[in-house]
Amino acid sequence: MHNKIKVCTLGLGYIGLPTSALIASHQIPVHGVDISQTVVDTINAGKIHIVEPDLDKTAANAVTSGFLKASTAPIAADTYLIVVPTPFKSGNHEPDISYIQAATEAILPLLKENDLYIIESTSPVGTTERMRDFIFSKRPELKGKIYIAYCPERVLPGNVIYELVHNDRVIGGIDEVSTKKAVAFYGQFVKGELHQTNARTAEMCKLTENSSRDVQIAFANELSLICDKAGIDVWELIRLANKHPRVNILQPGSGVGGHCIAVDPYFITAEFPMESQIIGKAREINNYKAFWCAQKIKNTIQEFELKHNRVPTVALMGLAFKPNIDDLRQSPAIYIAQKVLQEANDETYFIVEPNIDNHPYYKVTAVEEAVAKADIIAFLVAHNEFKQLVIGEDKIILDFCGVKKQ
Ligand SMILES: NC(=O)c1ccc[n+]([C@@H]2O[C@H](COP(=O)([O-])OP(=O)(O)OC[C@H]3O[C@@H](n4cnc5c(N)ncnc54)[C@H](O)[C@@H]3O)[C@@H](O)[C@H]2O)c1
């Protein structure tokens, strides 16, 4: 029965590839499409082009069993999954849905009665309805005859294979039959609960989840700025405040980065600028925190120079956007390193990132060597490797992420 359903996935990246491999592992034929020939060739060779635990085996099995094939062109299927990027338009924070539009355009001639079209890409509110209108403007005969839904992805990179199966999903159709059809589709391979709503709510739900995290981190970061001025240890303060049975403050850090929490709130502020005051302010605070950290390092260097009459050596500890990963995308630590090194003599700096071997711009130094040689040690990311370090009393420590406190 399942063998009769065919899926065509558009976009074979961090989300599209694991999703396609998972569906194929349920003996559902998947035709995966990517505009990158390299991506397509890699997958068809039974290999993967992204770092994700356990994905290599799942994808290789899916390809060798014949249930997953990659191509640069779509083919006729029963279900189409749109999992392409949704970046910003260049130069501002407005979401760019042209990739979704291009992927939709590519399958337009293939769509037929009873097909199911699902967008998984993180999207501004109204995108699914816009694509519905686009499809029906080009293929008016399909009006009321195909199913259209939105189902956002909320997996954690590094744990994608488990979370794809076990996370709850929010599924919103453009009408009730579309929602039901999409729920039946995900029910074949998702064990988490499938929550039904409409397309606009499902789109907003994804944006809300990441904005909620951003706002909560901004609160912690704001406290860290206040405490610095007030001479209070913010880590002790938060630990004590969290003893209240109904208070749960997150930990401050050197900013917020990555491709989700630091990005998705702008999908709301771009469209609802007047209404999204807290969401917008949280973005500003979290961006400002990285600027503030860079200033703090520069000021500490100047104070050192005045006191000791020599230029200090500085260790910048961590480049990733969060602890214990190698992902440097939109990392506040990278921003801080750039700001600090702008006016610097490189010889006096040690850049440390234990999760990468090398970097195109920075010479990466081993943890122990940097700590031994530096006068000033600035912790930008709370990597596990930094937690047990024994640091001499003569060193100046700037602990922006509580690596020595948590
Ligand atoms: N990575 C995550 O952790 C995560 C989590 C939740 C949601 N999302 C969302 O999922 C979507 C996809 O993210 P990703 O991380 O998989 O992106 P990605 O950049 O890893 O992969 C996207 C792939 O789509 C391909 N592509 C671009 N245009 C195409 C087209 N017209 N037809 C076919 N393929 C095309 C690209 O070549 C690329 O390989 C985004 O909207 C993202 O915000 C990502």
pLDDT digit string, tens, across residues 216-245? 999 999 999 999 999 999 999 999 999 999
* Ligand 1 contacts CB of residue 158 (under 6 A): no
pTM: 0.93
Q: Is the pLDDT of residue 30 over 80?
A: yes
Q: Are 199 and 150 in contact (CB under 8 A)?
A: yes
Q: What is the mean pLDDT of residues 197-202?
A: 98
Pocket test for ligand 1, best of 8, 10, 12, 15 (most atoms within 8 A of CB): 15
- Catalytic, 363? Answer no
CA-nearest residue, atom 3 of ligand 1: 157
Q: What 3-state class would DSSP assign to 148? A: strand
* Ligand 1 contacts CB of residue 101 (under 6 A): no
Same fold, 2-199 and 243-399: yes
- Catalytic, 260? Answer yes
Supply the pLDDT for residue 343. Answer: 74
Q: Which residue has the higher pLDDT, 168 or 3?
A: 168
> Tokens at residue 360, please?
């195109």
Q: What is the mean pLDDT of residues 265-275?
A: 97
**Nearest-CA neighbor of 177 among 115, 247, 263?**
115
Supply the pLDDT for residue 92. Answer: 84
**Nearest-CA neighbor of 314 among 294, 332, 328, 329?**
294
Pocket test for ligand 1, best of 20, 84, 123 (most atoms within 8 A of CB): 84
Q: What is the mean pLDDT of residues 326-341?
A: 94
Supply the pLDDT for residue 91. Answer: 76
Q: Are strands 147-150 and 169-173 parallel, antiparallel or unpaired?
A: antiparallel
Supply the pLDDT for residue 404. Answer: 82
* Ligand 1 contacts CB of residue 74 (under 6 A): no
Supply the pLDDT for residue 2. Answer: 45
Supply the pLDDT for residue 4. Answer: 59
Where in the chain are the domains?
Answer: 2-199, 243-399
Q: Are 54 and 34 in contact (CB under 8 A)?
A: no
* Ligand 1 contacts CB of residue 102 (under 6 A): yes
Q: Is the pLDDT of residue 390 over 70?
A: yes
| Percent of the chain scoring above 70 in pLDDT | 98
- What's the pLDDT tens digit per position in 132-159? 999 999 999 999 999 999 999 999 988 9
| Percent of the chain scoring above 90 in pLDDT | 92
Where b means 16+ CB within 10 Å and e means fewer, 124-143 reads: bbebbbebbeebbeeeeebe
CA-nearest residue, atom 15 of ligand 1: 14
- Superfamily designation of domain 2-199: NAD(P)-binding Rossmann-like Domain (3.40.50.720)
> What's the CATH number for 243-399?
3.40.50.720
